[in-house]
Amino acid sequence: MSTPTGILAEYRAQRAVSKPASRTIKPWYQNMPLVAGAIVVGVLVLIAVLAPVIAPYDPIAQNLQETLQSPSSEHWLGTDKFGRDVFSRLIWGARVDLRVGFIAVIIPFTFGTIIGGLAGYFGGWFDIIVMRIVDVFFAFPFFVMIIALVFIFGAGESSIYLAIAIVSWVAYAKIVRGEVIVAKEQDYVVGAQLGGMSHMRILFRHIGPNVLSQAIIYAMSDIVMDIMAIVALGYLGLGIAPPVAEWGSMILEGQEFITTHWMQATVPGLIVVVTSLGVSWLGDGLSDLLNPDRRK
Amino acid sequence: MLHRLTFIPSRLLQAVPVVFGVTLIVFFMAHLLPGDPAQAILGDKATPDAVSALRTQMGLDKPIWAQYFLFLAHLAQGDLGMSFTYQRPVTEIVLQAIPVTMSLVVFALTLTLVISIPLAAIAATAPDKPRDFAVRTFTLIGQGMPQFWVGIMLILLLAVRARIFPVGGFGETILDHVYYLFLPALTLAISLSPTAIRSLRTSTISVLGSDYVSTARSKGASGVPLFRQHVLRNAAIPTVSVIGVHLGYLVGGSIVIEKVFAIPGLGSLMLDAIYARDFPTIQAVTLFVGIFVTFVGILTDVIYTLMDPRVNLAAKGRA
């Protein structure tokens, strides 16, 4: 788990010391992290999509005769304090956590990339103002800001999207701005400018595709961070309202019975670890694929 | 050495607009609340008299910029309003909670170094060998673990099963505090160390390949002394800035961790305030954390400069 500022600093630190690597480009299927990440994420997405078919029980149907059962052939992971099947809730939880995680990056990605691109390309007062705003947002730790904003907007999925959008766009803006500042000195941009192309066309058609890869790679760490935020909000009782099956609130409910039913808090956490691992691999793989010469 | 610190005043000056920005955001938080800010702050049960008194105090009948200056004027006097769960000034309550959270953060930072330095050394001295792979797998998994879940797992293993540590609380004496804070600090350290290890590993590999390390080796240095005297300081420089920016993350993480371990710090204060809809307390904690992180940024730059004589001060001032 990491923060936007942390990832940026680490990225810079690594870039500062990494040596130029060989320029041989492997075919995508030999890119181990990419393949492994795609498989893990693919399976999880499939589980989420097929949840109504795969899950043996209704995730929110209570059965007060069968509360807190140990794992058995009927209930593979046992039942919770309301007699709900934990395995089915885990599967349905994938729908909520993956959906929110992947949707939440869209707004900050788009907004941050456009603002960062404009600031980097045009510079001047617009750049100065944008960068000061970015500095201010970076002063607040991710969680503190998310929790405060979700409180202000009220619990629920749309508040989570809004809070994440407000907090996360700054990282994209900073990354893309840095990339555009480097790119605009390149020959192909100077050539396009001398050729009389409009600034917007140069920025979006020529520079854009070349700088977008860094934002896409960062988006993978951002998805992991967003999933962590959703799970933490669920655990704090500030996320998606019960009785919807969600991994964070499942951990909260399981913690109550940690001495007798340790699996109930453990398994949802393990699924989060697997999900993050899959998305991180995908990010590493994409980074190899998109910037073959930047890796050490 | 001392003349290298002349950049500090200009760096502090740079922080001024950021601190103002932080106060601006915290100020606007009240206006983002649905409905009338005074009513939203005091809650549904407040009497009309109390609401109108707060409206006057916040200057809600004045233009927005006047309200902001009023907020700053109150802030300069350390007045951030009354907490209505505790019926005491918010500043007082926050000041009580700060030492608890700070001890947790410092403890966590110490444990992070204790975990990261040896593991990074183990990985960096044999790149792409099995032990490097093992350390890298640890960092990858460590980054994917929800912090609070790590805390619950540590409670399960070391408090419930093994009964070595308490399941939560803060204790009475200083020795108690160290004992009670160990598991929460370890939790934070486990989630911060992957980042520190990755940064240290990369920079150690590059330092180990440098000419001055070859020279030191040719003069007979090896093993731990070589590592301590020649490698660590240089390899640690990029990591200082990585850890510096992550201190804010430690403070953010401690919010959730304090809830898991029932520690009476800023995090518990903020969460309790959220459950009780005690807005002045939420505002005060957010403000403190924002300002704290800004100053940690400056401190990181100072340490960075002291450690690395090559840092270009002029460039640093502009950055």
pLDDT digits (tens, 9 = 90+) for A224-250: 999 999 999 999 988 888 888 899 999
Tell me if B249 sits within 8 A of A141, measured CB to CB: yes
Nearest-by-CA chain B residue for A295: B202
* Percent of chain B whose pLDDT exceeds 90: 24
Kindly report the average pLDDT of chain B as a whole number. Answer: 84
Q: How far apart are CA A237 and CA A248, in angstroms?
A: 9
pLDDT band per the 50, 70, 90 thresholds, residue B250: confident
Indicate if the pLDDT at residue B95 is higher than 90: yes
Which pLDDT score is estimated for B2?
Answer: 55
Are A138 and A170 within 8 A, CB to CB?
Answer: yes
Q: How confident is the model at residue B268 (pLDDT cuts 50, 70, 90)?
A: very high
CATH of the domain at A191: 1.10.3720.10
Report if residue A4 sits inside a domain. no
pLDDT in tens, A203-226: 888 888 888 888 998 999 899 999
Residue A21: pLDDT over 70: no
Q: Which of B253, B148, B141, B163 is nearest to A266 (CA)?
A: B148
Give per-residue pLDDT as tens, B2-54.
Answer: 566 777 788 888 888 889 999 999 988 878 877 777 887 777 777 888 888 88
Tokens of B200: 């240290």
Residue A152 has pLDDT above 50, yes or no: yes
In a domain, A193, yes or no: yes
**CA atoms within 13 Å, Cβ hemisphere of B108:** 31
Residue bearing the bigger pLDDT, A129 or B222 = A129
Least confident of B42-51, B264-273, B275-284: B42-51
Q: Is the predicted pLDDT of residue A75 greater than 50, yes or no?
A: yes
Please give, rounded to a whole number of angstroms, the shortest distance from the CA of B318 to a CA of chain A: 12
The whole-number pLDDT of residue B297 equals 83
CB contact (8 A) between residue A236 and residue B18: no
pLDDT digits (tens, 9 = 90+) for A171-208: 999 999 999 998 888 888 888 888 888 888 888 888 88
Q: Is the pLDDT of residue B272 over 80?
A: yes
Say which residue, A294 or B299, is predicted with more confidence: B299
User: How far is residue B298's CA from residue B211's CA, in Å, rounded to a whole number?
Assistant: 32
Cα separation, B215 vs A53, whole angstroms? 66
Asked, for residue A271, whether it belongs to a domain, the answer is yes
Identify which of B245, B230, B237 has the alpha carbon closest to the alpha carbon of residue B309: B237
Q: Determine whether the interchain pair A266/B33 forms a contact, defined as Cβ–Cβ distance below 8 Å.
A: no
- From CA B13, how far away is CA A294, in angstroms rounded? 36
- At B185, the pLDDT band (50, 70, 90 cuts) reads very high
Number of structural domains in chain A: 1
> Which residue does chain A place closest to B37, by CA atoms?
A152
The helix (H) or strand (E) run that includes residue A177 is helix A157-183
- Chain centroid to Cα A276, Å, comes to 9
Task: State the average pLDDT over residues B226-251.
Answer: 79
Structure-token pair, residue A18: 């990494």
Tell me the pLDDT of chain A averaged across its residues. 86
Question: Is residue A23 over pLDDT 60?
Answer: no
Interface test with A, best of B160, B239, B242 (most A CBs within 10 A): B242
* Arithmetic mean of pLDDT, B74-101: 88
CB contact under 8 A, B242 and A248: no
pLDDT band, residue B186 (cuts 50/70/90): very high
Interval A152-163 mean pLDDT: 89
In this model, does residue B214 exceed pLDDT 60? yes
Which burial class, exposed, middle or buried, applies to A216 when counting CB atoms under 10 A from its CB (0-12, 13-18, 19+)? middle
pLDDT over threshold 70, residue A86: yes
Please give the DSSP secondary-structure letter assigned to residue B5.
G
Q: What is the pTM of this model?
A: 0.86
The mean pLDDT value for B179-187 works out to 94
CB contact under 8 A, B143 and A280: yes
Pick from B34, B144, B256: CB nearest A232: B256
Res A279: pLDDT: 93
> Does residue B70 carry a pLDDT above 60?
yes
- Contact A13/B241, CB-based, under 8 Å? yes
Whether A17 sits inside 8 A of B152 (CB atoms) is: no
Q: Reply yes or no on whether the pLDDT at A251 is more than 90.
A: yes
Please tell me which residue, B277 or A274, carries the higher pLDDT value: A274
Q: In angstroms, rounded to a whole number, what is the distance separating the alpha carbons of residues A59 and A40?
A: 23
Closest chain B residue to A279, measured at CA:
B144
Write the residue in A10, A228, A269 that is nearest to B242 by C-beta. Answer: A10
**Would you place residue B161 in the very low, low, confident or very high pLDDT band (cuts 50, 70, 90)?**
confident
Decide if A21 is inside a domain.
Answer: no
C-alpha pair distances (Å), B311 with each of A9, A250, B301: 16, 49, 10
Report pLDDT for A19: 47
- d(CA A177, nearest CA chain B) in Å: 14
pLDDT digits (tens, 9 = 90+) for A101-136: 999 999 999 999 999 999 999 989 999 999 989 988
Q: Does any domain span residue A281?
A: yes
Domain assignment of residue A246, yes or no: yes
Range of the domain at A225: 30-290
- By the CB < 8 Å criterion, does A9 face chain B? yes
Straight-line distance from the first to the last Cα atom of chain A, in angstroms, rounded to the nearest whole number = 22
CB atoms A236 and B238 under 8 Å: no
pLDDT reading at B63 higher than 90? no
Residue A130 has a pLDDT of 92
Check residue A9 and give its pLDDT: 63
Query: Which of the residue ranges A83-87, A107-111, B305-309 would you say has the lowest mean pLDDT?
Result: B305-309
Residues in A closer than 8 angstroms to B34, CB to CB, are 154
Whether A141 is covered by a domain: the verdict is: yes
CB-CB: which of B21, B149, B248 is closest to A141?
Answer: B248
Does A25 touch chain B if contact means CB atoms closer than 8 Å?
A: no
Question: What's the CA gap between B223 and B231, in Å, rounded?
Answer: 11
pLDDT of residue A295: 43
More confident call, B31 vs B102: B102
ipTM rounded to 2 decimals: 0.84
B146 contacts in chain A (CB < 8 Å): 1, 228, 231-232, 235, 248, 251, 269, 272
Rounded mean pLDDT, A149-160: 88
Q: What part of A 204-243 touches B (C-beta under 8 Å)?
A: 224, 228, 231-232, 235-238
Can you read off the two tokens belonging to residue A136? 């201010």
pLDDT band at A64, cuts 50/70/90? confident
Mean pLDDT for A26-53 is 89
At A292 the pLDDT is 59
pLDDT in the model for residue A293: 55
Using the structure block, give the residue that is written with the tokens 């673990």: B145
Within-domain flag for A149? yes
